[in-house]
Amino acid sequence: MGQTPADGDRDIEYTMRLQRFLARAGVASRRGSENLMTAGRVRVNGQVVTELGSKVVPDRDVVTVDGVECHLADEHAYVMLYKPAGYVTTMSDPQGRPCVASLVPTDRYPGLFPVGRLDTDTTGLLLFTTNGDVANAMLHPSSHVWKHYVALVRGVPSRHQLQMLRDGVRMPDGVAAPAKAQLLAADDPAALPVAPEGVPYNHAVVSLSIHEGRKHQVKKMLRSIGHEVVRLHRDEFGPLRLSGLMPGQWRPLTAQERSAVESQAPRNNTKREVG
């Protein structure tokens, strides 16, 4: 496992951190792969490996998770899903709730996993991939990947309240980073996903862009200025914009979209030691 190659092989063999190998094989994100390792579910050449610094030679070592052999994918998969309400963002659920996994082609693209989460009642753009590097890059706080939401809220936020969001509103778990916030007109097409039958009396639709990813963040931010979220929809995630889909439908990313999301992560280094 991860031995130094003989001199004559140094130009064709390289080592890779095990959690990076698992992520690139589409098993899970790199953090999820680390959890698999520490849980004792990963074996290399038949031996359980729990040490996070462990390395493998991808072309030689046999890596298994729960007894299933893992291989580096020739090409990563990227799928955009229009998540409908009522689905939890997990690939399986012990409580038997509907999962987004049932909406995407896991048989065609083994190893797909969602990049981030949307609440069960939140609709909109959800990215799936087999590329753990891209997933980590798009979710890491240092990347400042913007996400755009539209929210139907009770009441009509004032200019002052919208400015609070732009300045960085105080929430129960700390101050949010400054957001981009504005009211949408009732007839704005962007409002349709949360107000398909029109905006009810004494309600409003707020456009909100954030680059943080705290749990229930948008709902907390709007609640902190005194407006409860009735419906929430995400239509942009980093360089991606939800298009060409109805709720529950998926499609592969276009070549341009694929290039855009891959540009979020550092290019893979294929020297003798990788990761």
Distance CA 111, CA 178 (A): 35
The residue ranking higher by pLDDT, 1 or 4, is 1
Average pLDDT over residues 166-176: 94
Whether residue 8 has pLDDT greater than 80: no
pLDDT band at 23; cut points 50, 70, 90: confident
Whether residue 269 has pLDDT greater than 60: no
Residue range 7-72 in CATH 3.10.290.10: yes
The residue ranking higher by pLDDT, 233 or 33, is 233
Whether residue 64 has pLDDT greater than 90: yes
Distance CA 72, CA 19 (A): 12
Q: Cβ atoms within 10 A of the Cβ of 157, count?
A: 20
Q: Which residues are catalytic?
A: 119
pLDDT band at 25; cut points 50, 70, 90: confident
Average pLDDT over residues 244-256: 96
- Same topology for domains 7-72 and 146-237, yes or no? no
Burial code of 113-131, b = ≥16 C-beta within 10 A, e = fewer? bbbbbbbeebbbbbbbbbb
- Where do the domains of the chain lie? 7-72, 78-140+239-262, 146-237
**Cβ distance 211 to 147 under 8 Å?**
yes
Nearest to 91 by CA among 106, 72, 69: 106
**Among the listed ranges 38-42, 137-141, 162-166, 188-192, which one has the minimum average pLDDT value?**
137-141
**Residues whose CB falls within 8 Å of the CB of residue 30, separated by 6 or more in sequence, listed in order:** 19, 20, 22, 23, 132, 133, 135, 136
Q: Which pLDDT score is estimated for 113?
A: 87
Rg of the Cα trace of the chain? Answer: 21
Average pLDDT over residues 32-42: 91
Q: Which pLDDT score is estimated for 273?
A: 36
Average pLDDT over residues 112-136: 92
Q: Which fold has domain 78-140+239-262?
A: Alpha-Beta Plaits (3.30.70)
Strands 68-70 and 113-114: unpaired
- The pTM for the full model equals 0.75
Whether residue 29 has pLDDT greater than 90: no
Average pLDDT over residues 149-165: 98
Residue range 146-237 in CATH 1.10.10.60: no
